[in-house]
Structure 1
Amino acid sequence: MHVQARVVDERGVVLARVDFLFDQGVIGEFDGRVKYSSHLRPGETSADVVFREKLREDALREAGWIVIRWTWAVLAHPDRLIQRIRRALDEAHRQQRPSRLWVPAA
Structure 2
Amino acid sequence: MHQVTVGPGDVVKVAGIPATSSLRTVSDVILRVDRYPAVSVLDSALNQGRIDPAQLAAIPNLIRGRRGAVVAHACLAEADGRAQSPLETRSRLRCVDGRVPPDALQLEVRDDDGYLLGIGDLGWRGPRLIAEADGRDAHGTPEAAYADRRRQNRLVNAGWTILRFTWQDTLHPSYIPHTVRQAIAAAHRR
Interval containing the TM-score (normalised by the shorter chain): 0.7 to 0.9
Partner of 2:151: 56
Shift of 1:36: 2.2
Query: 2:139 & 2:131 partners in 1: Cα distance?
Result: 17
Match status 1:81 vs 2:183: no
Query: 2:132 & 2:123 partners in 1: Cα distance?
Result: 9
User: Structure 2 counterpart of 1:73, which letter?
Assistant: Q
Q: Report which of the two has the higher share of helix.
A: 2
Q: With CA pairs under 8 Å and 6+ residues apart, which has the higher RCO, 1 or 2? A: 1
Partner of 1:12: 114
Greater Rg over alpha carbons, structure? 2
Query: What is the number of residues matched between the two proteins?
Result: 87
Match status 1:28 vs 2:131: yes
Q: TM-score, normalised by structure 1?
A: 0.78
Q: Which moved more, 1:79-88 or 1:28-37?
A: 28-37
Unaligned runs of 5+ in 2: 1-102
Task: List 4+ stretches of structure 1 deviating above 3 A.
Answer: none
Unaligned runs of 5+ in 1: 38-45, 96-106
2:163 to 63, 68, 92: 68
Query: 2:108 & 2:151 partners in 1: Cα distance?
Result: 13
Shift of 1:48: 2.0
Query: 2:180 & 2:161 partners in 1: Cα distance?
Result: 10
Aligned residues: CA RMSD:
1.0
User: Structure 2 counterpart of 1:2, which letter?
Assistant: A
Q: Report which of the two has the higher share of strand.
A: 1
User: Alpha-carbon deviations, 1:25-70, whole Å to 9, x = none?
Assistant: 1111000101125xxxxxxxx2122011101101000000011010
Query: 1:91 & 1:25 partners in 2: Cα distance?
Result: 11
Residue 78 of structure 1 aligns to a residue whose secondary structure is coil
Partner of 2:142: 47
